[in-house]
């Protein structure tokens, strides 16, 4: 059984430069993150593999899944537990042809059709957003809001991970709208104390799931 986490911390070194991807993975896991996502748009494949290998080592020690965004080849090279495809990346069904059946595959989907398509192709979870206005992504789409999130969660037959502009103050609302979990970037990576930020998010998520 594939375990999908409820707090995906997406490491980032463009919105901040204090911490490396590897350090952020370590800090987020310390705070209780149950999934780490590695996303890096630039750099050579060799450089990305080297970073991902170090992150995979930390994730392995702590039994936390590492999910590599956009790059199935790097996920495969380092033995990561999963990969995540954006809407412009490889389709889920093609990824399934060469990735292990045990590999977690997440897919970004913005419309009902795309969600159903990704699920039919074997996506293990759907990334949906941005829920709120976000500054972590250039050219971000119009915020979807909680009502559309709720509709998509009702439609999906797999976990929905909400992303985009989610803060500690709005995390509980997102979970109560039906999201299985939350993915964050700046709300952890851009904070003075990523460990505390992660810990606070986990507490909010778990509390919202119990109420």
| Active-site residue set | 39, 108, 137
Q: Which structure tokens are listed for 165? A: 């502009």
Residue the block writes with tokens 């502009």: 165
If you search the block for the tokens 């851009």, which residue do you land on? 190
Spatial distance between the Cα atoms of 63 and 59, rounded to a whole number of angstroms: 6
The alpha carbon of residue 148 and the mean position of all alpha carbons in its chain are separated, in whole angstroms, by 19
Alpha carbon distance 158, 3 (integer Å): 12
* 105 contact partners, CB below 8 Å, separation of at least 6: 82, 83, 84, 85, 92, 95, 96, 99, 122, 123, 124
Distance spanning both ends of the chain, measured CA to CA: 26
Calpha distance 178→54 (Å, rounded): 34
> Measured on CA atoms in the order 16, 146, 119, 62, is the torsion positive or negative?
positive
């Amino acid at each position: 059984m594939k375990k999908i986490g409820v707090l995906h911390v997406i490491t980032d070194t463009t919105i901040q430069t204090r911490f490396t991807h590897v350090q952020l993975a370590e800090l987020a896991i310390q705070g209780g993150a149950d999934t780490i996502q590695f996303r890096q748009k630039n750099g050579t494949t060799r450089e990305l593999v080297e970073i991902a290998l170090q992150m995979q080592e930390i994730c392995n020690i702590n039994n936390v899944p590492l999910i590599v965004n956009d790059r199935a080849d790097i996920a495969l090279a380092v033995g990561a537990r999963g990969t995540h495809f954006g809407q412009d990346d490889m389709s889920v069904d093609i990824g399934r042809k060469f990735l292990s059946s045990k590999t977690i595959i997440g897919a970004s989907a913005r419309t009902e059709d795309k969600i159903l398509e990704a699920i039919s192709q074997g996506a293990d979870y759907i990334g949906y957003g941005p829920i709120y206005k976000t500054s972590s992504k250039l050219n971000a789409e119009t915020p979807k809001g909680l009502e559309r999130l709720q509709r998509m969660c009702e439609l999906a037959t797999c976990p929905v991970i909400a992303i985009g502009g989610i803060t500690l103050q709005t995390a509980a609302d997102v979970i109560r709208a039906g999201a299985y979990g939350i993915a964050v970037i700046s709300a952890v990576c851009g904070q003075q104390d990523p460990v505390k930020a992660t810990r606070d998010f986990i507490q909010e998520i778990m509390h919202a799931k119990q109420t």
